[in-house]
Structure 1
Amino acid sequence: MAETLHWLEPESLAFPPPDSALSDPNGLLAIGGDLSAKRLVAAYSQGIFPWFNEDEPILWWSPSSRAVIPVEQLYINRSLKKLLNKKLFSVTINQAFEQVIDYCADAPFRREGTWINSTMLAAYKHLHQLGYAHSIEVWHQQNLVGGLYGVAINGFFSGESMFYLKDNASKFALVGLVNVLKQQGVKIIDCQITNPFLTSMGCIEVSRATFDQYRQQAMLMQLPAATWQPRTIF
């Protein structure tokens, strides 16, 4: 059966079924639309995420293999345990969302390229104001040295990006996020696409069907509002 790339209708928030995504490039599901809050919430609720470059139209993805971290299987090696016990950094939640996403979008600080353009920055900052996008911050002597951000729909958390200015800061951010979600009984973190760092922290790849089961279970979880209240995690 021939594969078809779907174009989104401007007046509709409907997406094609995620399993209709292309196999090459893997997971490309649809093109077009906008980054309005309603469309982003509709997308993440179905396990679909935007990923595109500045000079491209908006591209929407649902890869056939999905990267997830089972929160009970987060890997903390001996050296990280020692750093955690020494309280090398402090970790907070939702106290500096705009700073975190700005750092994530700043390629020199990321030490790699970035796809977070000005349109995405504005869209996710708006999602944060609406209570859907959240950040974990890592501090050293009152300076922001690392962090991550993502989107939460009920108990489903989809990580978007992270940064670090000091070694191990991104590991502390991930530990902080796991601590928050584990307390609420959340089972997995959606990492979308794996990389060596995530793999070293316990990230695994599952099929789209298995991921969808995880997502549906997480979506049924109603987390207390206090889950995302700004505070110190450790």
Structure 2
Amino acid sequence: MSNRPFNLNADLLLRAYRLGLFPMAESRRSRALHWLDPEARGVLPLDGFHIPRSLMKTVRSQRFAVTADVDFPATIAGCAAARLNRPETWINAEIERLFIDLFRIGFAHSIETWENGRLVGGLYGASLGGAFFGESMFSTATDASKVALVHLVARLRLSGYVLLDTQFITAHLARFGAMEIPRATYHALLAEAVGVSARFNAAPDAALLEREIEAMRRLG
């Protein structure tokens, strides 16, 4: 199903997510949005997240400074930007506007990775109850988006989330334990998750965050 983004606002977007729908545009320049509810949905189990050994070394090295909700607009702009290996994206100006509005009212969050004071990677998504809907990530430095994903999962676990929706499965996400589930199964999980009271903790205690990441490494 598709439509032009007429009078679409943050509240309507949240209603769509509650129903299992999410928007995509055909291109960065497109004005129309397509609403998707795929037969197979990608999810990343929070209790089965796998951190590859080489990535764990990067996380421990503290090569990147990692923040959350510090620069949401720059993060979504980074995800929307064209790159040599990805000349076109599905994030148009309308999606960018809607998610910045969601962020301003507390229903969207970003993880940012910095190197020498420069934003080099990150991700963003929507949040509703105990469900987090991962939208997109970007990286201009090796492993920057992967480190952001590790920190996202750690914060979600610490904050009481129960569902991380990745929408689709990629080889990149499969390395971390992402899997596909049938639409009906996803809708059942979603209905439970949105009723969970979870509060995104953008800046947890550093020692607590480090222990959570170590616990994730052992579980995975």
Superposition TM-score, scaled by structure 1 size: 0.80
Q: 1:107 & 1:44 partners in 2: Cα distance?
A: 26
Q: 2:51 & 2:102 partners in 1: Cα distance?
A: 31
Q: Return the offset for 1:39.
A: 1.2
AA in 2 matched with 1:227? N
Counting matched residue pairs gives: 205
- In 2 relative to 1, CA 148–116 (structure 1 residues): closer, same or farther, beyond 3 Å? same
Q: Give the equivalent residue in structure 1 for 2:15.
A: 42
Q: Return the offset for 1:123.
A: 1.4
AA in 2 matched with 1:42? R
Higher relative contact order (CA 8 A, sep 6+): 2
Q: 2:163 & 2:12 partners in 1: Cα distance?
A: 23
Gaps of 5+ in 1: 1-28
Q: Return the offset for 1:229.
A: 6.1
Structure 2 counterpart of 1:160, from 128, 135, 150: 135
Q: Give the equivalent residue in structure 2 for 1:221.
A: 196
Q: 1:116 & 1:178 partners in 2: Cα distance?
A: 23
Kept in 1, the 8 Å contact 2:124–2:137? The answer is yes
Deviations 1:73-92 (A, max 9, x none): 11111111111121221211
Q: Return the offset for 1:222.
A: 1.3
- Between the two proteins, what is the percent identity of the paired residues? 36
Q: Give the equivalent residue in structure 2 for 1:18.
A: none
Gaps of 5+ in 2: 211-220
AA in 2 matched with 1:99? A
Larger Rg: 1
Judge which range, 118-127 or 59-68, deviates more.
118-127
Structure 2 counterpart of 1:83, from 43, 58, 61: 58
- In 2 relative to 1, CA 134–231 (structure 1 residues): closer, same or farther, beyond 3 Å? farther
Structure 2 counterpart of 1:95, from 45, 70, 80: 70
Kept in 2, the 8 Å contact 1:134–1:151? The answer is yes
Deviations 1:174-226 (A, max 9, x none): 101101111123233100011111111211000111111221121111123x6
Q: 1:102 & 1:141 partners in 2: Cα distance?
A: 20
Deviations 1:54-84 (A, max 9, x none): 4363211100100000012111111111111
Q: 2:101 & 2:161 partners in 1: Cα distance?
A: 25
Kept in 2, the 8 Å contact 1:109–1:163? The answer is no
Superposition TM-score, scaled by structure 2 size: 0.85
Structure 2 counterpart of 1:207, from 163, 176, 182: 182
Kept in 1, the 8 Å contact 2:31–2:92? The answer is no
